[in-house]
Amino acid sequence: MRVTNQDSRAHTVHVLLFDGDSLAHWASQQVPAADDEGLGTATFEGYPPDLEPTRLLARRDEQTSAATQFDFTAHDADCLGLRLEIGEQRPDPHLVVWYTGDPCENETATAE
């Protein structure tokens, strides 16, 4: 899963994947700041290959709002592609989950 950062500050993003009510995977990724060259980007890797999560929680360091959530069970798709994006809104840049129902054929993403 890719993370893009539009903010001029670097951030750490934390992702938790749940299987039902059980925490199945937790990872953190440093995302560089955006600059004149473009957006800061990072990629989450190393998910367990057999994991079929039911819910994702994502949170940016120092985020004052509740964690951003994505419910996999609310989407009827054989394959979902996810991307996280940190906006440039000050003082608390928002974290959004973008998704596509068929990442192999459809490049159009929708915010959750």
Average pLDDT over residues 94-98: 89
pLDDT tens, 1-23? Answer: 899 999 999 999 999 999 999 99
pTM for the predicted model, two decimal places? 0.82
Residue 90, pLDDT above cutoff 90 = no
Q: CB-based contacts of 88: which residues, under 8 Å, 6+ apart? A: 6, 7, 8, 34
CA 74 vs CA 11, 70, 77: distances in Å = 29, 9, 9
Q: Side by side, which strands form the sheet with 55-60?
A: 22-31, 11-19, 55-60, 68-71
Q: Side by side, which strands form the sheet with 95-100?
A: 40-43, 2-5, 81-86, 95-100, 110-111
Average pLDDT over residues 80-98: 85
